[in-house]
């Protein structure tokens, strides 16, 4: 080491010009979902970025091959843990596609309403964390409060606040409660008021706008090339939404818009999510209005649907069916299928392969985040290190689904 008290003239003082390697994450408050970004810095400018995923890999696909089809549901709950209901519905849609069955209308509306509640909750988590990472703590509290109102409804309906495991192949675990519509009508004004308040706090805030506008830009062409879907793709101006492009459940019966951005920057991604919250609220309103008050929720096939509990406890037929469905599982016909639905982050696809038994032969997920995170390197390279946080935050990477 050089002695520090050497007398130096100003001209002789030189800062090192070597680039510096910094590891952001995997355990870093801004790296939600445990991801590591190894960045090469020249001063505060990123000259290189290496996004490393996989820290939350749990072998979910392999675990599915050990149980029955129904036992996959708790696993898929934990893919995108910010909106488990969307994963649940996406998975059972895949199984139902292979079975070749369609659930009754009441169930479809119920699934839509619960899914859209989950979508709102998911978008609010993303926006809340996004704002908080930029130093705005109040919006985080507002949106978390709004999310609690939605979780209250989900808890009332499914019995669990976060991981519900509520969907079933051929129906739902329980029919919608009598108060379902009323609970939603009671809660939604407060939820939307909190969303409005959040925006009022942020959208005229110079600090917030300076850090989101024109930063983390992704071009429309590159977004499509990278396989982006969902709000991040729509923020670049592509109006692709599976609910509109390939309607499933009863989405073709509702009146709603697909909000799109234009610049593909942090601001547009944030605003797309905010706009989608409002569209989801419209869908929910229509879904609960159109949902029949009574009628079957599950399909009429005892080989697929679990018998009601009173039959399980009181009749031998119910006992045997329950036993067989639990021990051996729903037997999906041998074959394969790919089923996709619009999850909160984009196209959530399940490729499932059955050998005709009650146990999956192969379950493969196409997580929307996985494609999105591929674009992160391109978005942050050349920018400032401080801009990594909003760019990453606006992407809403969820480790559970990205890392399978």
Residue ranges binding another protein (CB under 8 A): 301-303, 311, 313-321, 323-324, 327
Helix (H, G, I), strand (E, B) or coil at 306: coil
The edge-to-edge listing of strands for the beta sheet with 45-52 is: 20-24, 36-42, 45-52
In this structure, what token pair is assigned to residue 208?
Answer: 């917030």
Closer residue to another protein (CB): 190 or 315: 315
Shortest reach from residue 71's CB to another protein, in Å: 14
Shortest reach from residue 327's CB to another protein, in Å: 6
Shortest reach from residue 51's CB to another protein, in Å: 43
Closer residue to another protein (CB): 231 or 318: 318
Question: Rounded distance, CA 248 to CA 377, Å?
Answer: 34
Q: What is the DSSP letter of 163?
A: -
Closer residue to another protein (CB): 213 or 317: 317
Shortest reach from residue 356's CB to another protein, in Å: 13
Closer residue to another protein (CB): 196 or 301: 301
- Those residues whose C-beta lies under 8 Å from the C-beta of residue 7, and which sit 6 or more positions away, are none
Shortest reach from residue 305's CB to another protein, in Å: 11
Helix (H, G, I), strand (E, B) or coil at 25: coil
Question: Rounded distance, CA 233 to CA 35, Å?
Answer: 21
Question: Rounded distance, CA 131 to CA 207, Å?
Answer: 11
Shortest reach from residue 111's CB to another protein, in Å: 25
Phi, psi of 202 (to 5 degrees): -95, -40
Shortest reach from residue 312's CB to another protein, in Å: 9
Shortest reach from residue 374's CB to another protein, in Å: 43
Residue 320 CA neighbour count, 13 Å, CB half: 5
Nearest residue to 212 (alpha-carbon basis) of 271, 270, 266, 274: 266
Say how many C-beta atoms besides its own lie within 10 A of residue 270's C-beta.
26
Please return the burial class of 255, using the count of CB atoms within 10 Å of its CB with bins 0-12, 13-18 and 19+.
Answer: exposed
Closer residue to another protein (CB): 62 or 313: 313
Closer residue to another protein (CB): 52 or 314: 314
Closer residue to another protein (CB): 331 or 342: 331
Question: Rounded distance, CA 378 to CA 395, Å?
Answer: 13
Closer residue to another protein (CB): 210 or 301: 301
Cβ atoms of 148 and 163 within 8 Å: the answer is no
Helix (H, G, I), strand (E, B) or coil at 85: helix
């Amino acid at each position: 080491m050089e002695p520090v008290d050497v007398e130096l003239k100003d001209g002789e003082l030189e800062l090192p010009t070597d680039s510096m390697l910094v590891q952001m994450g995997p355990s870093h408050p801004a790296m939600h979902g445990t991801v590591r970004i190894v960045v090469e810095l020249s001063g505060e400018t990123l000259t290189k970025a290496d996004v490393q995923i996989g820290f939350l890999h749990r072998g979910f696909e392999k675990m599915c091959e050990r149980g029955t089809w129904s036992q996959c549901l708790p696993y898929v709950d934990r893919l995108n843990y910010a909106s488990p209901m969307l994963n649940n519905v996406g998975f059972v849609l895949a199984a139902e596609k292979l079975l070749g069955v369609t659930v009754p209308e009441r169930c479809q509306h119920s699934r839509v309403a619960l899914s859209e509640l989950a979508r709102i909750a998911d978008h609010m988590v993303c926006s809340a964390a996004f704002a908080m990472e930029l130093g705005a703590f109040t919006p985080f509290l507002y949106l978390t409060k709004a999310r609690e109102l939605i979780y209250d409804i989900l808890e009332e309906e499914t019995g669990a606040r976060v991981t519900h495991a509520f969907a079933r192949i051929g129906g739902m675990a329980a029919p919608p409660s009598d108060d379902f519509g009323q609970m939603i009508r009671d809660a939604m004004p407060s939820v939307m008021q909190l969303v409005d308040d959040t925006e009022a706090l942020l959208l005229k805030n110079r600090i917030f706008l300076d850090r989101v506008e024109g930063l983390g830009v992704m071009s429309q062409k590159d977004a499509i090339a990278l396989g982006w879907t969902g709000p991040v793709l729509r923020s670049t101006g592509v109006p692709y939404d599976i609910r509109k492009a390939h309607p499933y459940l009863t989405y073709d019966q509702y009146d709603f818009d697909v909000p799109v951005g234009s610049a593909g920057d942090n601001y547009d991604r944030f605003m797309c999510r905010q706009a989608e919250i409002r569209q989801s609220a419209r869908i929910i309103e229509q879904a609960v209005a159109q949902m029949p008050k009574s009628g079957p929720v599950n399909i009429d096939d005892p080989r697929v649907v679990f018998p009601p509990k009173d039959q399980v406890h009181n009749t031998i037929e119910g006992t045997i069916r329950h036993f067989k469905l639990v021990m051996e599982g729903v037997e999906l016909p041998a074959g394969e299928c790919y089923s996709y639905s619009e999850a909160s982050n984009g196209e959530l696809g399940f490729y499932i392969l059955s050998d005709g038994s009650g146990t999956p032969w192969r379950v493969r997920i196409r997580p929307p985040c996985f494609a999105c995170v591929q674009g992160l390197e391109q978005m942050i390279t050349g920018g400032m290190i401080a801009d990594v946080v909003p760019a990453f935050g606006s992407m809403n990477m969820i480790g559970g689904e990205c890392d399978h």
